[in-house]
């Protein structure tokens, strides 16, 4: 069956985000629960009439509460570096596990509370509960993880279709491992072993080894052109190796900005498919 490139490209999706892509609430709950005791102790500062004195008393009795302060300004690490008129200051919010903190050190952390605005936020009752506030911060921080989650969405989608085939398959497999496992020479792909190449999936049947690459590009960029050229090279090299087939599954509206390079690969790579092809059962016809 002859495929027309532009018609094929027109089926590309704008998104493949699933329900879990936006926020990993299990991670949010876990991160907040780990600080729940300390956050509740700091809750006593909400609306305080003498914030400085109350903060000193809390830190003196429970210095471990300091470890939840970075979360209140949406920072993951415990060490925070700031620059002021005195020069560089490094605050370590996770060093007082043995209940040892001096009055001078507490005053330093009090400066941090003042200058970052946390004192005003807490003292003036702008918030009602630091645990609830922390949940909101964690949701915001978790949104930064969407890029990593998005990178795996296409792999997860493809794996579901591979599993339906009931075949032997492996995830993230290097060419060196393929060579050892099935005694096949892939030196043409690795420049005689000088370059390490890893495929997203490898499927093994009685007749053939199928190596997969998969990706999804929601937006454009130079990486798309590099990817298309790279896979075109693999196509040219792998056709000279008996017993192995290269399959590339890609999708995403980002390809509209690099369709010239994609078409060049489309013209030489027989097994270049998109999500619509997967839905139409292409793997069942290809994998023998």
Written as one string, the DSSP assignment of 148-167 is HHHHHHHHHHHHHHHHTTT-
Taking a C-beta distance cutoff of 8 angstroms, is the pair 99, 149 a contact? no
Task: Inform me whether the pLDDT recorded for 78 exceeds 60.
Answer: yes
Q: Is the pLDDT of residue 83 over 60?
A: yes
List, for residues 191-245, the tens digit of each pLDDT value.
655 677 899 999 999 989 999 999 999 888 888 999 999 999 999 999 889 999 9
Q: 175-206 in b/e burial notation, b at 16+ Cβ within 10 A?
A: beebbeeeeeebeebbeeeeeebebbbbbeee
> Percent of the chain scored above 70 by pLDDT?
95
Mean pLDDT calculated for residue range 111-140: 94
Least confident span in 155-159, 194-198, 220-224, 274-278:
194-198
C-beta of residue 44 within 8 angstroms of C-beta of residue 58: yes
Distance CA 104, CA 223 (A): 52
Check if the beta carbon of residue 121 is closer than 8 Å to that of residue 45: no
pLDDT at 194: 64
Per-residue pLDDT at 24 exceeds 70: yes
d(CA 148, CA 276): 24
Q: Which of 153, 140, 148, 144 is nearest to 17 (CA)?
A: 153
pLDDT of residue 164 exceeding 70, the answer is: yes
pLDDT exceeds cutoff 60 at 184: yes
In this prediction, residue 144 carries a pLDDT of 74
pLDDT (mean) for 154-178: 95
Average pLDDT over residues 4-33: 92
Residue 98: which pLDDT band, with cuts at 50, 70 and 90? low
- Say yes or no to pLDDT of 254 above 60: yes
- Give me the domains of the chain, ranges plus CATH numbers: 5-17+146-286 (3.40.1350), 25-144 (no CATH)
Q: How far is CA 267 from CA 43, 133, 260, 272, in A?
A: 64, 54, 11, 9
- Which has more confidence, 145 or 231? 231
Confidence band, pLDDT 50/70/90 cuts, at residue 145: confident
pLDDT at 212: 97
Look at residue 109 in the predicted model and tell me its pLDDT.
95
Residue 190: pLDDT band by 50, 70, 90 thresholds?
Answer: confident
Residue 243: per-residue pLDDT = 93
Q: Is this structure's pTM higher than 0.75?
A: no
Residue 11 has pLDDT above 70, yes or no: yes
Q: Residue 192's pLDDT is what? A: 55
Q: What is the pLDDT of residue 163?
A: 96
The burial of 239, by beta-carbon neighbours within 10 Å (0-12 exposed, 13-18 middle, 19 or more buried), is given as middle
């Amino acid at each position: 069956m002859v495929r027309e490139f532009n018609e094929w490209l027109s089926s590309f999706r704008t998104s493949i985000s699933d329900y879990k892509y936006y926020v990993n609430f299990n991670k949010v709950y876990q991160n907040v629960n780990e600080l729940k005791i300390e956050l509740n102790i700091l809750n006593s500062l909400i609306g305080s009439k003498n914030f400085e004195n109350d903060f000193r008393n809390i830190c003196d009795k429970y210095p471990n509460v300091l470890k939840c302060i970075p979360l209140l300004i949406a920072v993951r690490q415990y060490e925070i570096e700031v620059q002021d008129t005195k020069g560089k200051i490094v605050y370590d919010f996770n060093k007082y596990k043995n209940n040892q903190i001096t009055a001078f050190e507490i005053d330093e952390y009090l400066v941090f509370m003042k200058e970052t605005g946390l004192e005003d936020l807490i003292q003036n009752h702008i918030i009602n509960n630091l645990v609830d506030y922390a949940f909101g911060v964690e949701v915001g921080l978790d949104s930064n993880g969407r890029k990593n989650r998005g990178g795996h969405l296409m792999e997860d989608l493809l794996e579901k279709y591979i599993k339906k085939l009931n075949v032997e398959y492996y995830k993230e497999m290097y060419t060196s491992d393929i060579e050892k496992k099935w005694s096949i020479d892939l030196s043409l792909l690795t420049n005689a072993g000088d370059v390490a190449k890893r495929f997203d999936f490898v499927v093994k049947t009685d007749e053939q080894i199928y190596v997969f690459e998969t990706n999804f590009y929601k937006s454009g960029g130079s990486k798309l052109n590099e990817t298309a050229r790279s896979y075109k090279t693999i196509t040219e090299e792998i056709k000279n190796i008996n017993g192995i087939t290269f399959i590339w599954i890609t999708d995403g509206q980002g390809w509209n900005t690099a369709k010239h390079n994609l078409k060049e690969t489309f013209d030489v790579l027989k097994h270049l498919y998109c999500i619509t092809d997967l839905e139409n059962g292409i793997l069942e016809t290809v994998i023998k």
